[in-house]
Amino acid sequence: MVSSSELLKRYANGERDFSGADLRGIKLYGSQGKEIDLSGANFSGANLEGAILSHVNLDNANFSHTNLKEVRMNGKINNTDFSGADLTNAHIGASRINGAKFRGANLTNVDFGANGLGNTNIDFANANCTNTKLTCDLIEAKFQGANLRNAIFRHQNLYWYRANLSRANLSQLDLSGQNFYTLEMRGVNLNGSNLVNTNLKSTNLEGADLRNTNLENADLTYANLRNTQIEGAINLDPKIYLIWHIINQEAENINLAGIDLSCANLQNVNLSGLDLRGVNFQRANLTKANFSHADLSSANLKNAYLSNANLESANLSQVDFTGAKLNSANLNQANLNQANLLGTNLEQARLQNATLYNANLTDANLEGADFTDADLTGADLTGTRLFGTNLTNTRNTSGSASIFSNSPNNPNLGLLEQIRQASKGLYYGSEADYPYEVFLWEVANRGEFTLEGLLEVFGFLREIPCDDFRNGNFDNLQWLQSSANSSRLLPENKQVIQSFRTLLLQLEPFLTNLQVYRLAVPAQDLYIVIGNTPSEDWLGISTKVSSYLEQQHYSSQIFRFRDSAVAKLENQELIVTLENEIAEVSFASEYIKNFVWEIAEQKSALIHNVLDTVGIVTTNEVENPFASETQAELVHSNLTNLRLYRLTAGEIEMYIIGQTENGDWIGLHTKAVET
């Protein structure tokens, strides 16, 4: 048996032929700065079972017909020959393996690791890849005749452990049931292969060869089919063929009105000027698509992806955009009359001169959007988010937008303008700098200022139908489907809601006038259920957030509301029942822990205390609203009852609020990023 020191000594003396040598269990440890050089060595027919070859240069080495069972190797393996070798249970770590040959090799249970090093031209022809983890860069790899029936091209949902099969040759192979979900397969050759029941969802197949493939029950949802060849494909879904046709050939001569294109990947497609009335684009990927001057009236675009899409001068009347992503889209001069934009993301979108007559913008995110000269007559802007929104010359703004449109004779307008000018050009310094927005809370128009009202105005807190929350079918809950977090966290939302339903059944004898609120924050929707207790006080139940979301800044206790509600005898049986029912409840979500509750005599006080207990909102005294002492003095000398509200974590909404001499409130809204 040859030892490691003997092997290295012989190699240093110029020997290169170690064919047939017994090298079982040999251990060679180099380092990134000083790797061991065995390039060009001949190990054909040798026994290296259980060997460790770490940071070893094996470029151009010959391991043909070698016993490499259980071997662990990493380093350089460029143009190395493993033809006919037995690598059962081997691990090939982060290695450069360009041009390596595994022709006819036994690769059963081999783990190629992440290996995201751009490796190309690896030859797996006729190899046995049973349970082989091919989760690395395999660009231009050759698999002719290989057994890939049980090969693994992506390791669970780990981002780095997935194959890159760009321009690889996978022709004439049995790939039925394989999982290629989200893989990069640009230019791959699948000509004549069996793809029955294969998962190609969200796969990039641009320029791929799918000619003569069997695509029976293959999932091509969201797949990129640009420049893909599909001639002679068997059992191709007619819907997939239509998507391919729209992407790769002229769509002008196709009657698309009323067609189902849901979940299609139509990125960058040009459909300008076409009749698309009533088309179902639900959940379709329409990123950067061109719909300018098209007629999309009454189309279904629920939860569609339209980031950076061009919809200029398009007819979008009565379109359902519920939950759609329209961030940075061009909607200038578009007709959005009676469109449903519930929960839509319109961040940085352009809507100059657009008409939104009777449009539903409830809970929409309009941050940074440009509505210059837009007509919002009859539009519902309840709960919209308006940070940095340009509403210049908009007509008939209502709802939350009206907080920036004040009564012309309000005595606080002069002070409001002074603070606005003082904050102009200033930014709140954090990991990302944000400007200040200044607004006036007119008590005569909006009622007394409360945290509840503030969060409602800025679109974070919304009341939802109690009957739906308690009894509704999850698939029909519009407020749930339109949630910004619905696609990622819908199962977790369902579990939380179901737990609430079970709890409320036990509390039904004690509570009246039930109301349900949804607090929409970036990582997780939170729900607050409130109702009147036997003493006519208010009980509120919500869920405690995890440390991931919980504010690192804690509330000042002077802002919590205290009264005698919790001590009243009429509430004691309710409290005992509640505590018993929630004691064993926990949630699978990484964002929430358990149920929490509060009781207060006033509804506004209750919601304030619940949000504080949940850990998603903190309230503190204000010390320095601006870095400049002169500008800070302007606020301190003119406003009383100052407080700072901070909402959520990571990207934090910040509101500095103070009361004017006549009882109105002036607020400064900005953001901070703390990670």
Report DSSP letters for 17-37, one per residue: B-TT-B-TT-EEE--SSS-EE
Angle between helices 572-582 and 486-507 (to 10 degrees): 140
Q: Hunting for tokens 């304030």 — which residue is that?
A: 608
What is residue 487's predicted lDDT score, i.e. its pLDDT?
47
Q: What residues have CB less than 8 Å from 584, skipping those under 6 apart? A: none
Question: Rounded distance, CA 128 to CA 147, Å?
Answer: 5
Nearest to 112 by CA among 60, 50, 155: 155
The residue type at 445: N
What is residue 548's predicted lDDT score, i.e. its pLDDT?
58
Please report, for residues 132, 172, 211, 558, the alpha-carbon distance to residue 176 in angstroms, rounded to integers and kept in the order given: 16, 12, 16, 65
What is residue 309's predicted lDDT score, i.e. its pLDDT?
98
Q: In 3-state terms, what secondary structure has residue 56?
A: strand
What is residue 473's predicted lDDT score, i.e. its pLDDT?
84
Nearest to 91 by CA among 59, 132, 122: 132
DSSP state of 144: T
What is residue 62's predicted lDDT score, i.e. its pLDDT?
97
Tokens in use for 570?
A: 């009429």
Question: Rounded distance, CA 503 to CA 110, Å?
Answer: 50
Tokens in use for 337?
A: 């009359």
Q: In 3-state terms, what secondary structure has residue 66?
A: coil
Question: Rounded distance, CA 378 to CA 516, Å?
Answer: 26
Looking at every residue in the chain, the average pLDDT score rounds to 90
The residue type at 114: A
What is residue 195's predicted lDDT score, i.e. its pLDDT?
97
C-beta atoms surrounding 185 within 10 Å: 27
Nearest to 665 by CA among 387, 397, 448: 448
> Domains (ranges, CATH) in the chain?
256-405 (2.160.20.80), 409-675 (3.40.1460.10)
Tokens in use for 288?
A: 């950067």
Residues in the chain: 675
Question: Rounded distance, CA 411 to CA 401, Å?
Answer: 21
Q: Which residues pair with 218 in a beta bridge?
A: none
Instruction: Please calculate the CA angle 67-72-73 and round it to the nearest 5 degrees.
Output: 100
Tokens in use for 374?
A: 């837009």
Q: Is the dihedral of CA 225, 228, 233, 238 positive or negative?
A: positive
Q: Extract the residue ranges of the chain whose pLDDT is less than 70.
A: 94, 115-116, 156-159, 398-402, 481-491, 522-524, 547-553, 627, 649, 675
